């Protein structure tokens, strides 16, 4: 970089304006003639005469005076008044800025500070996090959850991050869930009713696993609160505490009433030829828990867990039964509890029960056969080396070739051999069907007390038992079933009950979504439920304004969402749907 010479800068000016300035200064202060000045600064005499003329006429200005700013503030008087009122309420400059921005008026922190200073306000004293309304993690302290008084509510607005939960309102009304909850002795608190507490937890269950892991982000969500008749949803501690006030017996009684109500309203979904039953172990990682250890397939190891029996309609895939925290000594008898339960619900068991060999004992199979007119079952026989070898010794000509023709099944063609046996330790004569060349190294042994069913139908019924395994995958993947140690702890009985309700609501919604009838809850949530909404109460009407998605035309074409609904837990106001860009 070349060095700068200050003397040379003034002796030999290079810039045009600088040359003019120095030449005029020399001409006037040192009394040089115009010819001498023109020669010294490299001008012709005529050019310099023009410079002198223009300077006298003030056409040449060397130092432009600075432009002064406005003497009056640009901020409107109404905004200045609002800023002053907010400071009187002890809001900081940055709080005031955020409030004005939320109202659609941008104002810088410097402008706000100048307005307050001119009005004589001094700086606020340093305040603690509690005084600022912040938690230890520097997040805003959420407001206390309280019931909304709908009697005097004529105008009210709210927003919901996952506004699609309001699509479930028609199905909550159809299933009469409100009446079922109020008729069950669930606990209430001094501030929240049964409906407030249970519906606020159900709303979180309906948004599934991915969102549930960030449950604290909904503490300020007025839409989630309004869904349950509250200003905002209860905090996680209050929700967990509420679930632990509920005993197992009321949950089981409610579950039975819920399925009974569903069976009476939607009998077509509970008329399948089979009922699939299976255990699912819900793992728990707490050190103080005293749960039994069970095999957890997803972890491929034995863990402390709550053993749970689920029953599912083999055709509609609806869940019929769920009982959890079953002791090891009671596992084999749980199927008998289900039989008593289903007889109470439906009056008769005319479906075939399908389950694997570890669900119960041969003695209980005999008891099933002796119940009523004989409860039909299909299950696996426990195989040992001797019976496997005996099956392998059967001549090839005695095997029947079968083509199941089941879609998406890899091994549809296999061989079957039928015989009659008496189960060990019992007097029960059953039909034994052996499968081979079906994709497994060893043959599979099916046993059933149904002697009338065709072989292909028998094989198809047991093949469909894997539907309940698929259901377990949905419950774990989307409804967070396996997260007993999640940040959001609720009692296992209560959680399973809500899971069954949420899964049923998703199935009911799916049947009204053209071409999406068989989609999983996770797909329904992603394509339909996961969208924002704005809500507004106007007099006796609740308007839910859903944000449009690519799938919105399916909702708009459905008769379910063209109607308005009187919602009892929302002051019996009429709820209707609109869609916004």
pLDDT tens digits for 389-399? 888 888 988 88
pLDDT interval class at 164 (50, 70, 90): very high
Distance (Å, rounded) from C-alpha 103 to C-alpha 90?
Answer: 19
Q: What is the pLDDT of residue 490?
A: 62
pLDDT of residue 457: 87
Q: Angle at the Cα of 335 (from 332 to 341), degrees rounded to 5?
A: 145
Arithmetic mean of pLDDT, 141-161: 87
Task: Report the half-sphere exposure of 170 (CA within 13 A, side-chain side).
Answer: 18
Report d(CA 123, CA 533) in Å as an integer.
40
190, 130 in Cβ contact below 8 A? no
Residue 209 has pLDDT above 70, yes or no: no
Mean pLDDT of 494-519: 93
pLDDT at 132 over 80: no
What phi and psi, each to the nearest 5 degrees, are found at residue 402?
-130, 140
- Which residues partner with 566 through β-bridges? 574
Whole-number Å distance between alpha carbons of 366 and 362? 6
Which is more confident, 176 or 407? Answer: 176
Average pLDDT over residues 450-460: 88
pLDDT above 90: residue 2: no
Predicted confidence (pLDDT) at residue 540 exceeds the cutoff of 90: yes
| Confidence class for position 488, pLDDT limits 50, 70, 90 | very low
Mean pLDDT of the chain: 86
Min mean pLDDT across 142-146, 458-462, 548-552 is at: 142-146
Identify the CA nearest to 37 among candidates 61, 53, 28, 59.
28
Res 123: pLDDT: 81
For the chain, state the CA radius of gyration. Answer: 39
Q: How many CA atoms lie within 13 A of 43 on its CB side?
A: 22
Question: For 272-307, how does the pLDDT look when each residue is reduced to its tens digit (9 = 90+)?
Answer: 999 999 999 888 776 666 777 887 777 778 888 888
Tell me the average pLDDT across 460-471: 87
What pLDDT, on the 0 to 100 scale, is given for residue 360?
A: 93
Q: Are 111 and 76 in contact (CB under 8 A)?
A: no
Residue 448: which pLDDT band, with cuts at 50, 70 and 90?
A: very high
* pLDDT > 50? residue 487: no
- Give the pLDDT band (50/70/90) at residue 499: very high
Q: What is the spatial distance between Cα 471 and Cα 564, in angstroms, rounded to a whole number?
A: 33
User: Residue 318 has what pLDDT?
Assistant: 94
What is the strand order of the sheet 541-547 is part of?
Answer: 155-160, 533-538, 541-547, 573-580, 565-567
Task: Give CA 473 to chain center in angstroms.
Answer: 17
| 115/119 Cα distance (integer angstroms) | 6
Percentage of the chain exceeding pLDDT 70? 91
- State mean pLDDT over 220-226: 90
Residue 523 confidence (pLDDT): 93
Tell me whether strands 565-567 and 413-422 are parallel, antiparallel or unpaired: unpaired
Q: How confident is the model at residue 131 (pLDDT cuts 50, 70, 90)?
A: low
User: In the predicted model, is pLDDT for residue 135 greater than 90?
Assistant: no
Q: Find out whether 100 and 133 touch, Cβ atoms under 8 Å.
A: no
Count the helices and strands in the chain (H runs, E runs): 23, 15
């Amino acid at each position: 970089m070349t060095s700068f010479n200050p003397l040379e800068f003034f002796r030999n000016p290079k810039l045009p304006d600088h040359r003019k300035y120095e030449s005029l200064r020399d001409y006037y202060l040192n009394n040089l003639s115009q010819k001498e000045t023109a020669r010294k600064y490299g001008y012709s005499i005529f050019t310099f005469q023009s410079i002198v003329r223009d300077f006298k006429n003030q056409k040449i200005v060397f130092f432009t005076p600075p432009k002064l700013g406005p003497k009056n503030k640009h901020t409107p008087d109404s905004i200045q008044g609002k800023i002053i009122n907010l400071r009187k309420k002890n809001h900081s400059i940055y709080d005031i800025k955020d409030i004005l921005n939320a109202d659609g008026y941008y104002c810088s922190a410097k402008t706000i500070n100048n307005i307050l200073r001119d009005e004589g306000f001094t700086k606020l004293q340093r305040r603690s996090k509690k005084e600022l309304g912040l938690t230890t993690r520097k997040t805003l302290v959420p407001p206390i959850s309280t019931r909304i008084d709908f009697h005097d509510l004529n105008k009210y607005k709210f927003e919901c991050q996952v506004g699609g939960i309001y699509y479930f309102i028609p199905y909550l009304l159809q299933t009469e869930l409100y009446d079922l909850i109020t008729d069950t002795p669930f606990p209430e608190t001094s501030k929240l009713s049964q409906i407030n507490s249970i519906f606020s937890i159900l709303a979180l269950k309906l948004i599934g696993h991915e969102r549930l892991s960030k449950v604290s982000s909904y503490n300020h969500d007025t839409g989630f609160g309004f869904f349950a008749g509250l200003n905002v949803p209860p905090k996680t501690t209050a929700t967990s505490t509420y679930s632990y006030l509920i005993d197992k017996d009321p949950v089981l009684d409610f579950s039975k009433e819920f399925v009974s109500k569903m069976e009476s309203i939607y009998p077509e979904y509970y008329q399948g030829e089979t009922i699939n039953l299976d255990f699912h172990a819900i793992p728990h990682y707490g050190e103080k828990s005293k749960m039994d250890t069970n095999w957890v397939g997803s972890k491929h190891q034995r863990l402390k867990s709550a053993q749970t029996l689920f029953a599912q309609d083999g055709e509609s895939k609806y869940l019929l039964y769920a009982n959890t925290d079953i002791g090891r000594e009671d596992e084999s008898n749980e199927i008998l509890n289900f039989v008593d339960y289903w007889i109470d619900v439906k009056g008769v068991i005319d479906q075939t029960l399908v389950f694997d060999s570890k669900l119960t004992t041969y003695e209980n199979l005999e008891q099933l056969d002796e119940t009523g007119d004989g409860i039909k079952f299909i299950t696996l026989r426990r195989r040992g080396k001797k019976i496997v070898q005996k099956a392998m010794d059967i001549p090839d000509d005695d095997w029947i070739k079968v083509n199941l023709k089941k879609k998406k099944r890899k091994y549809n063609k296999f061989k079957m051999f039928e015989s009659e046996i008496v189960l060990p330790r019992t007097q029960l004569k059953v039909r034994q069907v052996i499968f081979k060349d079906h994709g497994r190294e060893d043959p599979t042994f099916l046993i059933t007390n149904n002697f009338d069913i065709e072989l292909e139908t028998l094989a198809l019924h047991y093949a469909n038992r894997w539907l309940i395994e698929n259901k377990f995958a949905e419950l774990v993947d989307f409804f967070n079933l396996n997260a007993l140690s999640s940040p959001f702890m609720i009692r296992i009985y209560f959680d399973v009950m809500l899971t069954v309700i949420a899964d049923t609501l998703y199935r009911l919604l799916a049947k009204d979504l053209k071409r999406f009838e068989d989609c999983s809850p996770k797909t329904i949530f992603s394509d339909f439920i996961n969208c924002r909404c704005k809500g507004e109460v106007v007099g006796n009407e609740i308007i839910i304004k859903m944000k449009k998605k690519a799938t919105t035309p399916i909702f708009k074409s459905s008769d379910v969402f063209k109607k308005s609904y009187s919602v009892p837990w929302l002051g019996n106001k009429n709820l209707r749907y609109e869609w916004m860009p």
